Structure 1
Amino acid sequence: MKVFRSFSKSKALKENTFAKKVGQRPGYLYVPDDALQPRLFLISFDEENFQEKEYTDYDQLLHYFQAHSHQQHWIDVRGYGNIALLEKIMADFAIHPLQMEDVISDYQRPKMDTEGKNLFFISRMILFLPNHCLDDDQISIFTGRNYIITFQSDYEDCLDVLRARIRSGRGVIRKRPVHYMAYAIMDVTIDNYFPVLSQVGEYLEDLEDALFQQPHKKQLNDILNMKRELLKVRRIAWSERDKLNEILRSDNQTIPDEIKIYFKDVYDHIVQVLDIVENYRELMGNLTELYLANVSNRMNEIMKVLTIISSIFIPLSFVAGVYGMNFSRENPDGSINYLNMPELYHPYGYVILLGIMFLILVGQLYFFYRKGWLRSF
């Protein structure tokens, strides 16, 4: 599985691309400065024969393609860093400039487009990064009479399992028309959503366990960040579903009916992806409520401790306050006022008062214990 460019870097590239393209003519091709140099891969096959090769010279690839028109071909272009090469491919395979603009922009939503008898699809691959973010990358697909062309911005992808199937000759992929190959690419791309969402599910379970043990503000940030990432997957999945709906509603001349049944299977998969995403989004809401409930419970426990401590010292403070009042025992005429705290002059008054305060403390603790207020400590 590939390692896509980081989300923050991809976001910066998109913003820079938008700025560069503002006011340009339709079909203007702009390649970012850090775009990878194209690598050209060709897989040619029929029921009996198979050849796979990486070409450094596009003319050699084109010569082989034209010399073997009886075979089916998968031309895989990885990297956009050569405008001249892309323009040659556009001319040789009758690709409309607006379609190539969508290819190079690398942030188009999944969609289907028709240009004559050729079809143009966009799908998006997703990956769960080590920093617990979801990244996505675009794969553009063109179909012709006996070929399919894919464009990607990076060298690695999730399609190795499909290439292995073609090499081994398993199944019917080498016997079917190019529309079946387009289906197979979309099928593998969308099937890859499931292990990614499985990783997301495991991460959410870890977050839930951490919330039960020791809720922290960072965990709330993680929950909100993942909620935003899932919103991105939901947006992609809805566009994929709309694209597949358009494929299924297309006429038989665009996509044969015997191939549409396979696209129906992909449609079922993307509906499952949407169900999982919606379940995870609901779980995110539950985790947020769990965090707030745990924080509230911790605050209640703290307030309970402080309240008990205050309840213990309030009567003790009252007794100390009473005996801290400085009323004079002697009257102005020198006579003794026996009503002004006579116990202050008792030889055991201090000890007796401490004993009373201790009995008050013990009585309060016993009362709190009988009420069950101390059992949670």
Structure 2
Amino acid sequence: MTDYHIPKRLRPDTISRKAGQRPGSLALPENALAPRFFLISYGPDFFLEQEHQGYDSLMHTFREHPQAKHWLDVRGYADVPVLERMMADFQIHPLQMEDIVNDYQRPKVEDETDRLFIVSRMIEFNEEHKLEDRQLTLLTGPNYVLTFQSDYHDCLDVLRDRIRSGKGTIRKRPVMSLTHGILDVITDYYFPAMAKIGDYAEELEDCLFENPGRQLLTQILDLKREVVKLRRTVWQERDKINELLRMDEEVIPAELKIYFRDVYDHAVQLMDLVDNYKETTSNLSDLYLSNVSNRMNEVMKVLTIISTIFIPLSFIVGLYGMNFSRENPRGGINEWNMPELYHPYGYVYLLTFMGLVVTGMVYFFYRKGWLSNK
């Protein structure tokens, strides 16, 4: 898997400053990167790959090979004049360009007369156990695919390697095959993120039986929120692919439908996995509460046993703490007022009796199985 860094999504305060602006306004994120232009031109017996230093150089090479198929990849948005030129050159609607630069859109597809506008989300589960995703926007044309993304690195290097090497049939098929390849790779890279989530959930489950503290509950609830967010994204990705499958053959050629159906099958598998993880995280929360309750019950059982043992001892001590006088004020002895207090071994007898009471109660609890943790 390609190691790539995904920048933070737009902060809520950044988004809120867009309120009230004219639709189609290009309000760039504060952390937007300077654009870099990559072009892969290919055909059955032709291949050209180059990073261009500017937009003019990119368009010159693009127009120089009208018979080839092209993948124009723009990474970074921090140049409004260039974005406006691209809108004119590729007939991109201002509202679509607004969706491109404000990269917090949900996965979707828009079918126009001769092209598609597709929004996808690339997913990564990082080392801090947080779900990070960023947007890749894709526009198709008669002989090109135009992609936009906010970062310089992505998960599509495996697809680029396939085009470079000429493996498979992507060079021989229509340009829509490149669209399928991009969507297929993005969908496949959901599975490693799912595997990391599953491993992390198993770690939390093991910790539940070792040290179920409040910090662990916080981690479980955080994971549950991440899974809910992932489920929402996967659901939208699945609907997007399903919508592509329903399009006419003039948009998606018949020979490519089976490949898009394969991507849809992967999306369905992802949906099943994320539903399973959603149930797992809910079970972890219940298991935590049950574990804490059991530990509290164990503590209460110990305290109850200790209190029960001391009840008869407290009674005996309280009984002998009554201040009944042995000597009668009118003279003589009150023989029934605790005569054992004056016995030479009364104290020893009393301690022995109390010890026998404690021993008998502990033995009784043991026979009942109340002293066992099982």
Global fold match (TM > 0.5) = yes
Tell me if 1:262 matches 2:264: no
Tell me if 1:301 matches 2:298: yes
Kindly state the Cα deviation for residue 220 of structure 1 after the two structures are TM-superposed: 1.5
C-alpha separation in 1, matches of 2:31 and 2:369: 67
Counterpart of 1:29? 26
Tell me if structure 2 keeps the 8 A contact 1:17–1:30: no
SS at match of 1:21: coil
C-alpha separation in 2, matches of 1:231 and 1:289: 17
Instruction: Give the aligned residue type for 1:3.
Output: H
Aligned to 2:63, which of 63, 66, 70? 66
Give the RMSD, CA atoms, in angstroms: 1.3
Counterpart of 1:87? 84
- The more displaced of 61-70 and 17-26 is 17-26
Counterpart of 1:3? 5
SS at match of 1:140: strand
Counterpart of 2:322? 325
Counterpart of 2:273? 276
Aligned to 2:109, which of 85, 107, 112? 112
Tell me if structure 1 keeps the 8 A contact 2:36–2:54: no
C-alpha separation in 1, matches of 2:372 and 2:234: 51
Instruction: Give the aligned residue type for 2:91.
Output: A
- 1:302-354 residue CA offsets vs partner (Å, 9 max, x unmatched): 11111111111111111111111111112221322111111111111111111
Kindly state the Cα deviation for residue 214 of structure 1 after the two structures are TM-superposed: 2.0
C-alpha separation in 2, matches of 1:140 and 1:14: 20
Instruction: Give the aligned residue type for 1:171.
Output: G
Kindly state the Cα deviation for residue 375 of structure 1 after the two structures are TM-superposed: 3.2
Structure 1 gaps, min length 5? none
Structure 2 gaps, min length 5? none
Counterpart of 2:224? 227
- 1:64-99 residue CA offsets vs partner (Å, 9 max, x unmatched): 110111111111101111111111111111111111
Counterpart of 2:35? 38
SS at match of 1:26: coil
Counterpart of 1:124? 121
C-alpha separation in 2, matches of 1:219 and 1:375: 27
Tell me if structure 2 keeps the 8 A contact 1:112–1:247: yes
SS at match of 2:209: helix
Tell me if structure 2 keeps the 8 A contact 1:17–1:105: no
TM-score (norm 1): 0.96
C-alpha separation in 1, matches of 2:183 and 2:44: 22
Tell me if structure 2 keeps the 8 A contact 1:42–1:53: yes
C-alpha separation in 2, matches of 1:295 and 1:229: 24
- 1:164-201 residue CA offsets vs partner (Å, 9 max, x unmatched): 11111100011111111011100000100001100000
C-alpha separation in 2, matches of 1:301 and 1:22: 56
Aligned to 1:47, which of 33, 44, 47? 44
Kindly state the Cα deviation for residue 53 of structure 1 after the two structures are TM-superposed: 1.0
Instruction: Give the aligned residue type for 1:122.
Output: V
Pairs aligned (count):
372
Tell me if structure 2 keeps the 8 A contact 1:29–1:101: yes
Counterpart of 1:178? 175
Counterpart of 2:348? 351
Tell me if structure 1 keeps the 8 A contact 2:42–2:48: yes
Tell me if 1:313 matches 2:310: yes
C-alpha separation in 2, matches of 1:21 and 1:311: 68
Kindly state the Cα deviation for residue 237 of structure 1 after the two structures are TM-superposed: 1.2
Kindly state the Cα deviation for residue 14 of structure 1 after the two structures are TM-superposed: 4.1
Counterpart of 1:247? 244
C-alpha separation in 1, matches of 2:268 and 2:144: 29
Instruction: Give the aligned residue type for 1:245.
Output: N
SS at match of 1:74: strand
Percent of aligned positions with the same letter in both sequences? 58
C-alpha separation in 1, matches of 2:17 and 2:304: 63
Tell me if 1:372 matches 2:369: yes
